[in-house]
Each structure stands twice: as C-alpha cells, then as structure tokens.
Amino acid sequence: MAKVIIWSSLKSHTGGESNLEIEAGNVKDLLARLGETYPGLQPQLKRGVSVSVDGIIFRDGWLTPLKPDSEVVLLPRMQGG
Amino acid sequence: MSSIKVSTTINGDPTEYVCEADETLLDVLRNRLGLTGAKEGCSTGDCGACSVTIDGRLTCSCLVLGAEMDGAEIGTIEGMASGEKLHPLQKKFIEHAALQCGICTPGFLIAAKSLLDHNPKPTETEVRFALAGNLCRCTGYDKIVRAVMDTAAEMRRA
Amino acid sequence: MPLDNAESSTRKYKVVGTRPNRPDGVDKVTGRARFGADAVAPGQLVGLILRSPHPHAKIKGIDASKALKLAGVKAVVTSADLPDKTDGDAMLYDVLVNVMAREKALYQGHAVAAVAATSASIARQALKLIKVDYEILPHVTDVDEAMKPNAPLLYPKMITDGMDPKPKKPSNVVRRYEFGHGDVEAGFKKAEIIVERSFKTEATHQGYIEPHACLANVGPDGQGELWVCTQGHFMVRDTCARLLGMDFSKLRVTASEIGGGFGGKTTVFIEPIALALSRKANRPVKVVMSREEVFKATGPTSSSSIDVKIGATKDGRIVAGDATLRYQGGAFAGSPVEFGAMTAFAQYDLDNVRAVGFDVVCNRPKQAAYRAPGAPMANFAVESVIEELAHKVGMEPIDFRIKNAAREGTHSSYGPVYGPIGLLPTLQKAREHPHFKAPLGKNQGRGMACGFWFNFGGQSCVSMNIGVDGTVGVTVGSPDIGGSRASMCLMTAEELGIPYDKVRAVVADTGTLGYNDVTDGSRTTFATGMACIMAARDAIKKLCARAAQIWGIPEDAVVWENGHAKPAGSNAGNFPPMSLKEIAAQAPSTGGPIAGHHEFSADGAGVSFATHICDSEVDPETGFTKILRYTVLQDAGKAVHPSYVEGQFQGGAVQGIGWALNEEYIYGKDGRLQNAGFLDYRIPVCSDLPMIDTVILEIPNPGHPYGVRGVGETSIVPPLAAVANSVSAAVGVRMTELPISPPKLLAALEKQSAMKKAAE
Ligand code: FES
Ligand code: FES
C-alpha cells in the first residue's frame, strides 16, 4: 500500500485525513483509486495535479511504477514562468 | 492620405521612399524599407530598442517622422558591420554573453557605438548613464556594461 | 524516469561548462534575427483590437456595420466569431473569454472586437467606427477590498472552493488552499519570541521588451500557418486549434526569435484573434500589440496581501511558522497563490508549519506566470519576518538561517522529503563571501534572503541528424529565450565527443517534431537538454552498429569513446578506432542516413535554492534607494554554459530589485491603470544598478545525467526580501509594502520620527 499525503485543504473530502493508504501499481492507478474512494477529490484531480514520489516531483509521468512502501505527495499542478 | 517623397542616405546608401505624414522613421525603416533591425518596444521614446543615428546623433526612431528625414544621414544596426567584419562592439557582445533574448541588442549597440565615438575612454558610470535610455529586461545590464568597457579598452589598444 | 546517476559528480567534462559563442549571436548583433513583428507575408493585412475602456461592464451590443463599410476593411471579429468549443474545459474557457470578452468586459483593456484592414491607419479609423453598448458595473481592483462582504462581484454565482463548511454566499474568492504539517498552535506555545506582521505587494509586469506579435494565415481549406513570438509554439497550436475548431496537424506554428517572456508568453492573447481575422478575410493578418496594450491586457503577476507569524525559542530554533496569503489574479481564477503557500517556508526545516492561500478575482487583467510564479511575494513576507526574528533572538540573520535551514531529509513545508539540496552551501558560501564582511557607511544597510523554486521537466522531443561531413544538426521544439541553443549544442557535443562548433541547434516548427512543452519552469536546459543527450546516445548506438557492420563484428562488441567507435576489447577484433566523421562519410553506402531521436516526459528536475545579499543606501531627504552592491549565490546543479547561468542569476535579481523598489500597477478610483507605459512603470535601467556578482554552486541533481538543475526562476525569489531587509536595516524601519518607492519610504521615515518625538 502506497502512502498518499494530500494537502491540508483537501482533507474536507477525505473525512479529515491527510495521510491515506492506497493500493496501486503506478501513479495513474493511484489517482484513479483516489478519485473513486474520495469522489470529493474529483474536481481537483480533473483540474490537474502533480505528484512527488519518494521526493521526486512528477508533473506528468503517470506510468511511474510505485513500490509498496512509496510515499506519494499530491501537489497542485506545477507551473512555471 | 497624401504621400510624401523623401531622399535620404541610410548606412551610406542613397535611399528614397514615400511615406504618409503620420509615419515614424521607425515605421518607414521597418515596414517600407525592410530594415527590421530597429525594434519597437514602446513607441514612446522610453526603451531605446529603436535607436538609430541621424546625422551622427543618437535618436529614438519612434520619436521622429519619416517625412522629416529629407537630406538626413541615417545609421542603423544593419550598417554597423563592414562586410563580413563585425564591429568590435558586436564581437564583444557575443563573447561576453551580453545578450539573452537579443531584442534590445541592436539598440544597445547603436547607443554604445555612439558613446565610444564621442568618449573612447568611458568610466563604468559614464557607460551606465550613456546606456540608461536603453531597456534590457533579461541581463541585468552587468554583461552589457562589461562588453562595452572591454570594447573600449580593446579599441584603444588597436 | 528519473536517473540515478553517480557519474555526474565525478565526470570530467570536455565541452559542458565552457563558454563558447552562441550560435545565434551574429544574427542578433547584426539585426538579422527575426522576431515576432519582423515577418511579412504577401498581401498581409493589419489587425487591430478594440478594448474596453471600462474595468467592469456588461456588453449589451456591438455594431460594426459602419466599420465594415469603410474602404480597406476586410474583416471584423467579435466573440460571435469565436463560439465556445471548449467542451467543459474551464481553464480553456477562461482563455477564450480573456482573448475576447463575451457578456462582460472584466477589466480595462479587455478585448471586445478586432478589425483587419489594408493599412494601420484604416484599421485605426475602423476601430473608432465600432460602437459598443456598455452598461457600466461597479468594479474592484484591490485584493483586500475584493474579499470584503459587500464587494462588487465579478461572478455572482461563485462559491469559494476548499472551505469547510462550504460558504452559502457567493464571493470573489475562488478557492482556499492549505499546506503544512505538525501542530502550529502547539508550536507557538513553545515559542519564546514571536514576530507577526502583515505585508502587501503590488502587481508587476514581466516587462519583456518585445510586445506580443504574430502573423496568421488561414485558408478556406482549413489549413493554417502562424508565426508568433511565444515560449511554447506547440501550446499555441493546440490552444488556437481547439478554440477555432481546427485540426491540430493542419495548423503549423513557427516560433520566431522571442524578445523575452519570463512566463508572460506561456499563453495566448492575440493569436486566436489573428487566426479568426485571417480566416474571415482569407488573407494573412499581422497583429502586433502596442506597449500600452501589453500593460493593460497581458499578464502582470498577482498583487498580494500576506500575514506571517513565526515563533522561535531563545536559542534560535524556529518552532512554528504560519502564513495567510491573499493573491488576486485578475478577472479569472488561477492566481499562483498555491505556489506562494507551498514555497513560503520551503527553505526551512520546520516541525510545525501552515500556509493558507486564497485565490481572489478582481477587475484587472488575467495574471500570467512570472518567473517562479507566486513565490517572490510569499518569500518577501517570510524572509522579512525571519530577519526581524533573528534580530530579536539576538543572532546574526545568516546564522539563524543556517540553524533552521532545510537540508537533505527535511520534510518540506509543501509535503515531500528533500533529497540532496544546495541551500546550506549557498548560505555557507555567503558567509565567507567578501561582500558579507564589507564595511557599510551612513544611511546604508545590508539585507539578505534565501529563496526556493521547484523546477519541473515536462515533454520534449528532439531529432538529431548526422551529416556525411560529420557535423550534427539538432532539431529542438523549445523556443530559445536566453541562449538555450548554445546549451543544447554543448550537451550534444559532449555526449557525441565532437567539438562544439560541429553542432548546430535549430528550433523547429510544430510540423517537424512531436509535442514540446512550453519553455517555462526552468525546464529547457534540464528536460530538452536531457532529450539531446538521449538522442545523442541513440545516435551513438546506431553509429556503433554501423561500425560493427563495417568491421563485421557483433554490435555489442563495439563501444563509443571520445567521439570514436572502438572494438570493446582485444578479443572483439583489432580495428583502429573509427571517428564519427569516418562513419558518417560511409553512411550513404552502408545503410543510409544516421539519426538519433528522443521523445519523453522528463521528471526529476531538482529543486533549486539561492541566497542573495544586498547593500543599499537611502537618501533620507528624497526617500530614494540606491543599490550599492548585490551578490547572488545559487545552486545550478551543473552549469552547462556558465555565462548564461550567470545571466539568469543577474537578470532575475534585477527584475526582483525592480519589483522591490519601483515597479507597480497603479489603479485610479475609476479602475483604470494609470501607468501603462515604460515612462511611469519604471523598470530598472543601467544607471540604477551596480554589477551583480554571482557565485554558481554545483550540487548535482541526481535526476539528470550531467546533474543539471533549472536555474531560470529561483533568482527572482529572494531579491524582494533581500532589498527590503537592506532598506529596513539602513533606515531602522521595517518596510512591509512593496514597492518601496520614495513617497512610501518618506512616509515611513516621517512616521518613525513622529513616533520618536511622541515618545520623548
Ligand atoms: S520604441 Fe522607440 S524608444 Fe521604445
Ligand atoms: S537581452 Fe532580452 S531585453 Fe536585453
């Protein structure tokens, strides 16, 4: 089970929890599961997110495989100038 | 609108054009003569991207009318190199990485050449004030000032 | 996939890290380089845009009949010509509405109609003949005013997202963000010293010297060409094609040389209008913005209002940090407040931290990304409080920062745990730097600040063709905004083992390569550079295979070293090494052209930290601040072309200095921008500044084969606070509002002396 950390203002959609556990093989699956389990997160997922997997930021790369003990941090979709 | 016929010299070449009364010299250079080296950054005399020389004087070409140029000698960036030989300023700007995007570069080169023509041994402060009419948003001016100072030193040695 | 590359720290580079002349240098010093406004097409028309004079107004009708009757006018377009094809994509819909107002004009300068005519003067006359029937609505331009309960609403049905419980009443607040960890309240209970302050910053413009420009040409067969100055021509293609209902592949977009962007050219403004005009007129149409239009209708950054509270123990350890950030992003959702909230405390190692952000709409132009979007303002607020707190604790601000600095293993304020990062080295180097010990005179002060930016990778596609003469053409799809072609050539030459001057990089149009993301987020040298390296490795594989065939040995028995194919060992065969040039020369008769490709989405862009030191002198008579000395210390991972890395540091620092001292959007009570020109919106000029000293640190990024990190954005993050801290040190008054313009500084000095008198 990958550990998923969401940012604080999303907690209202997950019953107050910011540390979640999700079973998923890659980032794409993980985001899909997340949306199924917590439908309140759907609008944000649709608006776009980036993730950090074990400290490395992925703006895209949804096929990145996850290890069973991976720590995934949900981030707003990265932008730059 | 009635057109006005103008005879000038541009970069040493006799040039004739017709323009409308409200066209700036910058419009004429860019749109009628295909000399797009002078850039329009503001059209209000604030950025110096359109710098040219008129009878040897540094001028913003966006602030003068094309119709006023009869009999004038105009110098633009296109006339700075002689044949395949770049002007020392042009060479030093490349070597010092004094340009990032390069939109301000023609204006800076014209202004810097005009400075060195009048003052072959400028101090850093003199360079900074001489170039204060030219805006660059990319470089923070550091490498531009260095390139100009280095050119001046090299031209003195030559 | 991020690479785990230990080679980057030990590798000896031959070409990377040198400072050769850039490939586009001669074109740019001779005036030959072609920028956005420098293109012409046969029979082209001039396109001009009519803009709303009102900050907020209902558009009841547009009558263009008189304009259309004017001889020489070939087309008029309004929002009716841009039907909504966005298919529920809210962000794209906002782009559409920003390109051309629909029911309402949302800010002064919002486009409402456009004409294409045979000359500029006819087009100008035509604009005057278009009659727009406006119903003026109340407006709001200040972020704090916009959040008040009775503020005029831009979107009467908008309910703030991200609030618990959900608000019942509509407001101008789009969304609430919260980041952080630990227990902030508990942390503050442990604090022995707390500093709490409120700050405001004004909107600033990216201020690229080249106004937006494009030349569009669309035929009735649905095929089109677009020449445009942009940071991302693939983005322009996809966005315009979607808005206009064209097939992506039938619109070919060519990126001109670009005269600065800084984030401001990462979206579309005039491009869909030029295409719509061209389609209607069936003629090429050129649209070039005036400087006034650039200020009024393209992306400034957000203005902000920020509260910060930080607590520490007497021994100088921060125990809690809390910030509330309010950013207005103009008339549309999407101010970069989430990045402000994420980066506010990113440079510290904190157990208890919280940052709350509110994204607010106002009757101002839609904000566009500006170098490290959202971070500089948050950094200004936090680093100002840090400096003050250090003084209260009785520590040198630099030691206080070192004590609390984020390091490898720190749980960052925005979530992830840091890998190897370069913050501490920049601080240590700063403390040793001569600047730090230089004496100061009267009315002079020294300030410092640390800053952070994420950086990211994104999609890149690169093609590399080896000529029979042994020279190499690299085709990239990332517009070069500051010398990146030189870096691409350097990395290609390094990998292939050939001289720099045997490689040429060109930026290709959208028909030539697969999708490349916008040149932003400091991604090009990192991601497109990595694609060049990978494409070179692909070419090397083919070169080795070719050598193997020529020698008649297995492919895996050939290795590539120093630009030569060699048998892997003595038992592979005894052949003299064959150079790239020798293999290339035989290509036509040994199987045809040799090329390398790489297409991918790069991740693993390492985060980047910087420390800036600033000395300033204040004239107490006039309130004028002069920057005396400025030093930038930043981690670049690996500097591919050090001159252009320094240039990024210097340019970002100076933009930040402008933001801190002069630059601001000034609105009148009428909601109109009062300083839409370079005379009154004053960016720093040459005589305002000293040399900008730079120190490049190289802490390799494990996610790049050479250890490269993006460097373009971090440099604008610390200057706001570094300058404000130095001015505050010079005058003994904490400056909490930017810009620190002379009138503001004089007012602060007067207030201080009045308070001193009252105390006596
Ligand atoms: S265009 Fe002439 S000074 Fe700016
Ligand atoms: S190099 Fe871009 S404006 Fe000077």
Judged by CB atoms within 8 Å, which residues 112-141 of C form the interface with B? Answer: 121
Q: Which residue has the tokens 């490395």?
A: A56
From the CB of residue B31, how many other CB atoms can be counted at a distance below 10 Å? 19
How large a percentage of chain C has pLDDT more than 90? 92
Q: Does B41 touch chain C (CB under 8 A)?
A: yes
Q: What is the SS3 assignment for C686?
A: helix
The two beta strands, C285-288 and C104-105, are unpaired
- Could you give phi then psi for residue C342, rounded to 5 degrees? -70, -35
What per-residue confidence (pLDDT) applies to A64?
A: 85
Per the CB < 8 A criterion, the answer to whether C259 and C290 are in contact is no
pLDDT band at C14 (very low <50, low <70, confident <90, very high): very high
Q: What angle do CA C681, B23, C257 make, to 5 degrees?
A: 60
Per the CB < 8 A criterion, the answer to whether B26 and C659 are in contact is no
Candidate from A7, A59, A71 with C-beta closest to C603? A59
Interface contact B49-C38, CB threshold 8 A: no
Per the CB < 8 A criterion, the answer to whether C352 and C384 are in contact is no
Q: What is the SS3 assignment for B67?
A: helix
Q: Is residue C391 over pLDDT 80?
A: yes
Q: Does C416 touch chain A (CB under 8 A)?
A: yes
- CATH tag for B88-157 (out of 1.10.150.120, 3.90.1150.10, 1.10.3720.10, 1.20.120.420): 1.10.150.120
CB B41 near ligand 1, within 6 Å: yes
DSSP C295-327: HHHS-B--EEEEEEEEEE-TTS-EEEEEEEEEE
Phi/psi class of residue B56: alpha, beta or left (left: φ > 0; alpha: ψ in -120 to 50)?
left
Q: Which atom of ligand 1 is nearest to the CA of B50?
A: 2
- Per-residue pLDDT tens digits of chain A, which is 81 residues long: 889 999 988 988 999 999 999 999 999 999 999 999 999 999 899 888 999 998 888 887 788 899 999 999 999 988 887
ipTM: 0.98
Contacts of C366 by beta carbon, 8 Å cutoff, 6+ apart: C94, C98, C107, C299, C329, C330, C331, C332, C334
Chain C: nearest CA to A79, how far in angstroms? 6
Q: C35 to chain B: which residues are within 8 Å by CB?
A: 36, 39, 103
> Which tokens hold the place of B156?
């003195």
The H-or-E segment that residue C567 falls in is: strand C564-567
CA of B46 to the centre of ligand 1 (A): 6
Tens of pLDDT along C94-139? 999 999 999 999 999 999 999 999 999 999 999 999 999 999 999 9
Per the CB < 8 A criterion, the answer to whether C170 and C286 are in contact is no
Which chains sit next to B, with 3 or more Cβ pairs under 8 A? Answer: C
What per-residue confidence (pLDDT) applies to A58?
A: 85
Domains B3-79 and B88-157 share a fold: no
- Could you give phi then psi for residue C554, rounded to 5 degrees? -65, 150
Q: What is the CA radius of gyration of chain A?
A: 12
Judged by CB atoms within 8 Å, which residues 54-83 of B form the interface with C? Answer: 76-78, 80-81
> Which tokens hold the place of B68?
């006023």
**Closest CA to ligand 2's atom 3:** B136
Contacts of B76 by beta carbon, 8 Å cutoff, 6+ apart: B10, B11, B29, B35, B37, B38, B52, B106, B110, C31
Tens of pLDDT along C77-90? 999 999 999 999 99
Judged by CB atoms within 8 Å, which residues 26-65 of A form the interface with C? Answer: 43, 47, 50, 52, 54-61, 64
Domain range summary for chain C, segments of one domain joined by +: 7-33+457-602
Ligand at minimal distance from the CA of B48 is: 1
Tens of pLDDT along C695-742? 999 999 989 999 999 899 999 999 999 999 999 999 999 999 999 999
Chain C: nearest CA to A35, how far in angstroms? 16
CB pairs under 8 A between B and C: 186
Look at chain C and count its residues.
760
Kindly state whether residue A48 falls inside one of the protein's structural domains.
yes
Q: Which atom of ligand 1 is nearest to the CA of B47?
A: 4
The three-state DSSP-derived secondary structure of C213-224 is: EEEEEECCCCCE
Average confidence (pLDDT) over C519-532: 89
CB B49 near ligand 1, within 6 Å: yes
Instruction: Give the Å distances, CA to CA, from C234 to C93, C231, C508.
Output: 19, 9, 10
Distance, CA of C131 to CA of C622 (rounded, Å) = 47
DSSP B88-126: HHHHHHHHTT--SS-SSHHHHHHHHHHHHHH-SS--HHH
Chain C: nearest CA to B150, how far in angstroms? 15
Instruction: Give the Å distances, CA to CA, from C646 to B143, C440, C642.
Output: 9, 26, 6
Chain C: nearest CA to A36, how far in angstroms? 19
CB B48 near ligand 1, within 6 Å: yes
Kindly state whether residue A60 falls inside one of the protein's structural domains.
yes
Tens of pLDDT along C233-270? 999 999 999 999 999 999 999 999 999 999 999 999 99
Whether there are 3 or more C-beta pairs closer than 8 Å between A and B is no
Q: Which amino acid is at A22?
A: I
CA of C495 to the centre of ligand 2 (A): 30
Q: How many structural domains does chain A have?
A: 1
CATH number at residue A31: 3.10.20.30
Average confidence (pLDDT) over B121-127: 98
CB B43 near ligand 1, within 6 Å: yes
Lateral strand order in the sheet of C353-360? C173-181, C353-360, C318-328, C303-312, C193-201
Distance, CA of C434 to CA of C417 (rounded, Å) = 33
User: Nearest Cα to B132, choosing from B120, B152, B148?
Assistant: B148
Distance, CA of A4 to CA of A19 (rounded, Å) = 6
**Closest CA to ligand 1's atom 3:** B45
- Could you give phi then psi for residue B44, rounded to 5 degrees? -125, 15
Interface contact B39-C35, CB threshold 8 A: yes
C373 cis-preceded (ω within 30 degrees of 0): no
What per-residue confidence (pLDDT) applies to C6?
A: 44
Distance, CA of C682 to CA of C668 (rounded, Å) = 18
Distance, CA of C199 to CA of C360 (rounded, Å) = 17
C554 cis-preceded (ω within 30 degrees of 0): no
pLDDT band at C5 (very low <50, low <70, confident <90, very high): very low
Q: What's the farthest any 2 CA atoms get from each other in chain A?
A: 36
Tens of pLDDT along B99-112? 999 999 999 999 99
Distance, CA of C107 to CA of C673 (rounded, Å) = 10
Interface contact B138-C677, CB threshold 8 A: no
Tens of pLDDT along C590-624? 999 999 999 999 988 888 999 999 999 999 999 99
Q: B34 to chain C: which residues are within 8 Å by CB?
A: 40
- Residue C426's DSSP bridge partners are none
Q: Does C339 touch chain A (CB under 8 A)?
A: yes
Interface contact B135-C678, CB threshold 8 A: yes
The H-or-E segment that residue B27 falls in is: helix B25-27
Angle, helices C484-496/C642-661, rounded to nearest 10 degrees: 150
Average confidence (pLDDT) over C46-75: 98
Q: Where are the alpha helices (DSSP H) in C233-352?
A: 233-244, 271-281, 291-297, 337-343
CA of C479 to the centre of ligand 2 (A): 15
> Which tokens hold the place of C40?
């012409």
Candidate from A43, A57, A76 with C-beta closest to C603? A57
What per-residue confidence (pLDDT) applies to C9?
A: 57
What per-residue confidence (pLDDT) applies to C457?
A: 87
Ligand at minimal distance from the CA of B61 is: 1
Average confidence (pLDDT) over C375-400: 98
| pLDDT, mean over chain C | 96
pLDDT band at C759 (very low <50, low <70, confident <90, very high): confident
- Could you give phi then psi for residue C361, rounded to 5 degrees? -105, 150
What per-residue confidence (pLDDT) applies to C8?
A: 53
Q: Is residue C525 over pLDDT 80?
A: yes
Chain C: nearest CA to B144, how far in angstroms? 9
What per-residue confidence (pLDDT) applies to A47?
A: 86
Tens of pLDDT along C664-695? 999 999 999 999 999 999 999 999 999 999 99
CATH architecture for segment(s) C7-33+457-602: 2-Layer Sandwich (3.30)
The two beta strands, C503-507 and C472-476, are parallel
User: Nearest Cα to C517, choosing from A78, A74, A46, B103?
Assistant: A78
Q: B142 to chain C: which residues are within 8 Å by CB?
A: 646, 650, 689, 691-692
Look at chain A and count its residues.
81
What per-residue confidence (pLDDT) applies to C4?
A: 44
Per the CB < 8 A criterion, the answer to whether C367 and C301 are in contact is yes
CA of B113 to the centre of ligand 2 (A): 18
- Could you give phi then psi for residue C735, rounded to 5 degrees? -90, 120
Instruction: Indicate the burial class of C612 (C-beta count within 10 angstroms; 0-12, 13-18, 19 or more).
Output: buried
DSSP C451-512: EEE----EEEEEEEEE-TTS-EEEEE-S--SSSHHHHHHHHHHHHHT--GGGEEEEE--TTT
- Residue C611's DSSP bridge partners are C450, C633
Q: Which atom of ligand 2 is nearest to the CA of B102?
A: 1
Candidate from C26, C31, C40 with C-beta closest to B106? C31
Q: Which atom of ligand 1 is nearest to the CA of B46?
A: 3
Ligand at minimal distance from the CA of B106 is: 2
pTM: 0.96
Tens of pLDDT along B67-77? 999 999 999 99
Q: Is residue C24 over pLDDT 80?
A: yes
Host domain of residue A16: 2-76
Q: Does C13 touch chain B (CB under 8 A)?
A: no
How large a percentage of chain C has pLDDT more than 70? 99
What per-residue confidence (pLDDT) applies to C1?
A: 36
Alpha-carbon dihedral A33, A37, A40, A44, rounded to 10 degrees: -10
How large a percentage of chain B has pLDDT more than 70? 99
Ligand at minimal distance from the CA of B49 is: 1
Judged by CB atoms within 8 Å, which residues 463-522 of C form the interface with A? Answer: 520-522
Kindly state whether residue A11 falls inside one of the protein's structural domains.
yes
From the CB of residue C117, how many other CB atoms can be counted at a distance below 10 Å? 27
Report the CATH number of the B3-79 domain: 3.10.20.30
